[in-house]
């Protein structure tokens, strides 16, 4: 059973604005899906960068995300509030680090990431339940992104 937040997010606070995916996490249904949608234009902005710079920014987004998600959770008085979607943004960007160019790969990456993020196959479900704080919030989506990216590689290699 999900805990209720003791206070509402305040998007005037930069941490809440980022944690809630520029407001996308406030969607009444499927906030993680809306947060992942916000990741698509971010990916399109990052896509022209060198792979090395992309990975550096991805690592920075993950590390900063630990603090952002942890602080937002603390502010709201609940661990991993459903509206915190910075982790979905970074998870999708992890997925897309495995992608080829093209609109289809953006769509395939979206579907695969949402699939693994929602289904939470082992060890994602275990990480989601056992690792707490900002690191825990970020870690399960990192692994979901790695799973989704791995499947994209297999598709690109013709394994499916």
Model pLDDT, residue 6: 64
- Radius of gyration over every alpha carbon of the chain, rounded to an integer in angstroms: 15
CB of 87 within 8 A of CB of 21?
A: no
| CA–CA distance, 108 with 74 (Å, rounded to integer) | 34
pLDDT digits (tens, 9 = 90+) for 2-39: 455 667 888 999 999 999 999 999 999 999 999 999 99
| CA–CA distance, 74 with 154 (Å, rounded to integer) | 39
DSSP state of 30: -
pLDDT digits (tens, 9 = 90+) for 70-109: 999 999 988 878 899 999 999 999 999 999 999 999 999 9
| CA–CA distance, 17 with 9 (Å, rounded to integer) | 8
Model pLDDT, residue 124: 85
Which of 4-8, 49-53, 105-109, 153-157 is predicted least confidently? 4-8
pLDDT-derived band at 142 (thresholds 50, 70, 90) equals very high
pLDDT of residue 1 exceeding 50, the answer is no
Q: Quick check: bond before 123 cis, omega within 30?
A: yes
Q: What is the pTM of this model?
A: 0.93
CB of 152 within 8 A of CB of 105?
A: yes
| CA–CA distance, 77 with 71 (Å, rounded to integer) | 10
Taking the domains of the chain in order of start, what are their residue ranges?
14-156
Q: Taking the CB of residue 133, how many other CB atoms lie within 10 A of it?
A: 16
The backbone torsions φ and ψ at residue 131, rounded to the nearest 5 degrees and listed phi first, read -105, 120
């Amino acid at each position: 059973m999900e805990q209720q937040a003791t206070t509402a997010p305040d998007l005037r606070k930069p941490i809440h604005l980022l944690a809630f995916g520029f407001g996308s996490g406030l969607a009444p249904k499927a906030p993680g899906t809306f947060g992942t949608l916000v990741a698509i234009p971010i990916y399109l902005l990052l896509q022209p960068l060198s792979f090395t710079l992309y990975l550096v920014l991805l690592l920075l987004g993950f590390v900063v995300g630990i603090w952002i998600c942890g602080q937002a959770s603390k502010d709201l008085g609940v661990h991993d509030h459903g509206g915190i979607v910075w982790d979905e943004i970074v998870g999708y960007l992890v997925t897309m680090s495995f992608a080829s160019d093209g609109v289809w790969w953006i769509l395939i990456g979206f579907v695969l990431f949402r699939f693994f993020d929602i289904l939470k196959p082992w060890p994602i479900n275990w990480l989601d339940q056992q690792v707490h704080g900002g690191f825990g919030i970020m870690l399960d989506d990192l692994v979901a992104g790695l799973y989704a990216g791995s499947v994209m590689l297999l598709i690109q290699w013709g394994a499916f």
